[in-house]
Structure 1
Amino acid sequence: MINIIFEPNILLAFLITVLMVLLYFLRIIKPQIARDQDIFFATIGLLYSSILVIHGWRLDPILLFSQVLINSILVPTCWENIRLRAIAYAFQKFKEEKNN
């Protein structure tokens, strides 16, 4: 049975979907900091968000809160990882220019 109701699970799924699409487009926007495993993680994130949309109506409030907490830890960690990739790339480029 598929029962899609507009509840907080839809907002959480929409947020994760937007972030995973941005992770897909990272390869187009900044290919030097994109990694091959980003496609795998973005696909898993899109699958997770679709499960939240389809079966999120069955979540108890405490289970939904746990999903919110997990995502509030995961999203900043991913952001920091991508930012550190950009810093490492800039440092490597600076080091190569300095050596030449």
Structure 2
Amino acid sequence: MINIIFEPNILLAMMIGIVMAFLYFLRIVKPQIARDQDIFFATIGLLYSSILVIHGWRLDPILLFSQVLINSILVPTCWENIRLRAIAHAFQKLTQNNKNN
């Protein structure tokens, strides 16, 4: 049975869907900091968000709260990982420029 109604599970699924779409499009916007495993994790995240949309109405409040807690750890960790990749790329570029000079 599929019952898609607007509840907090839809907001959670939309947040994860947006983050995972950003991870997909990172390869187009900044390919130097994208990794191959990003495609795998973004696909799993989009599958997870679609499951939350379709079957999230069946979650009782404590399970929904656990999903919120998991995602509140996942999203900042993903953001920090991408920032650290950008810093590492900039540092690598800087050391290459110093070696050339």
TM-score, normalisation: structure 2: 0.98
Q: Does residue 1:20 correspond to 2:1, yes or no?
A: no
Matches within 5 A, 1:35-46: 35-46=35-46
TM-score, normalisation: structure 1: 0.99
Structure 1 distance, partners of 2:17, 2:75, is 12
Runs of 5+ consecutive residues of structure 1 not aligned to the other structure: none
Structure 1 distance, partners of 2:68, 2:37, is 24
- Give 1:59's aligned residue: 59
DSSP 3-state at the match of 1:6:
coil
- Give 1:47's aligned residue: 47
What is the aligned residue count? Answer: 100
Structure 2 distance, partners of 1:21, 1:49, is 11
Amino acid at match of 1:42: A
RMSD, aligned CA: 0.4
Structure 1 distance, partners of 2:17, 2:42, is 9
Q: CA deviation at 1:3?
A: 0.6
- Give 1:31's aligned residue: 31
Moved over 2 A (4+): none
Per-residue CA shift, 1:31-71, capped at 9, x if unaligned? 00000000000000000000000000000000000000000
Runs of 5+ consecutive residues of structure 2 not aligned to the other structure: none
Q: CA deviation at 1:26?
A: 0.1
